[in-house]
Amino acid sequence: MPSQQDSSPSKSYHFDRVFGPEVDQATVFHEVVSGMLTEVLGGFNCTIFAYGQARTGKTHTMEGDLSTASSVNAGIVPRALQSLFETLERETANTRSAFRYFMELYNEELNDLLTPDNEPRKLRVYEDNTRKGSVVIQGLEELLVKNASDVITILQNGSNKRQTAFTKMNHASSRSHAIFSITVHTKESTPQGEELVKVGKLNLVDLAGSENIGRSGAENKRAKEAGMINQSLLTLGRVINALVERSPHTPYRESKLTRILQDSLGGRTKTCIIAAVSPAKCNIDETMSTLDYAHRAKNIRNKPEANQRMTKRALIRDYITEIERLKADLAATREKNGIFLSKDNYDSLLGESQARKDRIDEIARTLVAKEEQRVQLERQFSQKVEILHQTSSQLTATMTELEERKAELGLAMDEILQIQNRLMAQEYIIR
């Protein structure tokens, strides 16, 4: 990849796959996604996301033509759904079910794209106390789906709700990050006849493109959108750098995007990144930035783990526990035997709680930064002390050598005086 100046040396990048503009959608799907679908059915969580500047084909690669998976221009999402359900239908011996959700991150606000209302529902993100590094999204609509055609229809409806706008670089520029996820449950039997439930999850993420506001002509609302997009992508870049450099602190919480992708970056998920670049010479700086970004991300080492297989009895027990909890909440509501708040007060309470939590996280990050600074200062102090010891030793050695030279000089002066005296005595005798 040559730099913008012809005199500059070229730079090489090494990736698992490289696709030129002549490659069709089917080839990208078979080379990148097919193997990961097998992992999903094997009980792993897998993530595929596309990254790059605006107008490089990310949405085309991920979604493409959503009318049907058989279309030449159908992207990864419809093809993955079609292939996944075809595989499940072939395995008729196993009972299976699939749940899916579709949401977008717009101006750091999570919106549910599967709500029946025209206005997407706002969502909240919380830490999953049962699984470190994962999050729970409150209020997210999960739909049970039975075949690929149903899923694609729902996907089309959700995609139409996604935020897009006209810019100088793209007449339908994505103004939000889209996260599509499908969870597959399959039932199998052990040799002892015990039924187990295996769970796999596929996350497909279409990131909004990094954007040069001056070139895109974004103003007012569009400029704010571009700023929020770039900010979340910069945070994603800092997370990747921290993981590659094995920093003691990884800034996942600085953006909702990185909180959602936390398990996909350095966690237990199998992850694939598609870096979309432009062949245009005028975009060489953005292209180099994208390639550097992808090259750093390739050095992240996840530790994939298959989801724990649950027995049917344990799964039913969890469902019963959840039902009992809901019944208790319902009974408390009917009997007014509990704490009741208006929605405004409840939302205010949640907001205050979240603000305190964010403040605590901010203080924790500050403490980590101060600790890093302290360690660095101690290291510098130790280096200075070592230099001082070395300098003191050198000074002592130099002073000792100086005293020796003084002693030698004194002896030499005495010898010179003796010679002068002898010369004067000889001169006197000669006279």
Summarize pLDDT for 250-263 with one digit per residue, the tens: 888 888 888 888 88
pLDDT at 89: 80
The helix (run of H) or strand (run of E) holding residue 96 is: strand 96-106
For residue 219, the tally of other CB atoms under 10 A from its CB is 11
Question: Going by DSSP bridges, is the β-strand pair 96-106/109-112 parallel, antiparallel, or unpaired?
Answer: antiparallel
Question: Going by DSSP bridges, is the β-strand pair 310-311/177-189 parallel, antiparallel, or unpaired?
Answer: unpaired
Would you say the pTM of this structure is higher than 0.85?
no
Res. 327 pLDDT band, cuts 50 70 90: confident
Residue 144's φ and ψ, nearest 5 degrees, are -80, 125
Residue 157's φ and ψ, nearest 5 degrees, are -65, -40
Bigger pLDDT: 379 or 319? 379
Average pLDDT over residues 348-364: 79
The candidate with the shortest Cα–Cα distance to 243, out of 287, 179, 293, 290, is 293
Alpha-carbon distances, residue 168 vs 213, 381, 396 (angstroms): 10, 54, 72
pLDDT at 343: 61
Q: Compute the CA torsion angle 198, 128, 115, 209 (nearest 10 deg).
A: -100
Alpha-carbon distances, residue 363 vs 133, 210, 360, 410 (angstroms): 20, 30, 5, 68
Q: Check whether 218 has a pLDDT greater than 80.
A: no
**172 Cβ contact partners less than 8 Å away, ≥ 6 residues apart:** 164, 165, 166
* CA-based torsion, 206, 211, 217, 219: positive or negative: positive
Helices 148-160, 76-90: crossing angle, 10 deg rounding? 160
pLDDT in tens, 35-78: 999 999 888 899 998 888 877 888 889 988 888 778 888 899 88
The candidate with the shortest Cα–Cα distance to 77, out of 121, 144, 142, 25, is 25
The helix (run of H) or strand (run of E) holding residue 51 is: strand 45-52
- Alpha-carbon distance of 188 to 43, in angstroms, equals 12
DSSP labels for 106-156?
ETTEEEETT-SSSSPEEEEEEE-TTSTT-EEEET---EEE-SHHHHHHHHH
Task: Let me know if 195 is exposed, middle or buried by CB neighbors in 10 A (0-12, 13-18, 19+).
Answer: middle
Percent of the chain whose pLDDT exceeds 90: 12
Mean pLDDT of the chain, nearest integer: 81
CA 366 to chain centre: 21
Instruction: Find the angle CA(47)-CA(75)-CA(282) to the nearest 5 degrees.
Output: 90
Rg of the chain over Cα atoms, rounded to whole angstroms, equals: 34
pLDDT at 31: 93
Tokens standing for residue 260: 């959602």
- What does DSSP assign to residue 30? I
Tokens standing for residue 302: 């996840």
Q: Residues 196, 306: contact at Cβ < 8 Å? A: no
Task: Let me know if 339 is exposed, middle or buried by CB neighbors in 10 A (0-12, 13-18, 19+).
Answer: exposed
pLDDT at 79: 92
pLDDT at 3: 47
Bigger pLDDT: 415 or 119? 415
Q: Which residues pair with 205 in a beta bridge?
A: 49, 179
Instruction: Find the angle CA(147)-CA(59)-CA(69) to the nearest 5 degrees.
Output: 30
Residue 165's φ and ψ, nearest 5 degrees, are -160, 160
DSSP labels for 152-200?
HHHHHHHHHTS-EE--SS-TTEE-SEEEEEEEEEEEEE-TTS-EEEEEE
**369 Cβ contact partners less than 8 Å away, ≥ 6 residues apart:** 249
The candidate with the shortest Cα–Cα distance to 264, out of 204, 321, 340, 210, is 204
- Alpha-carbon distance of 239 to 226, in angstroms, equals 20
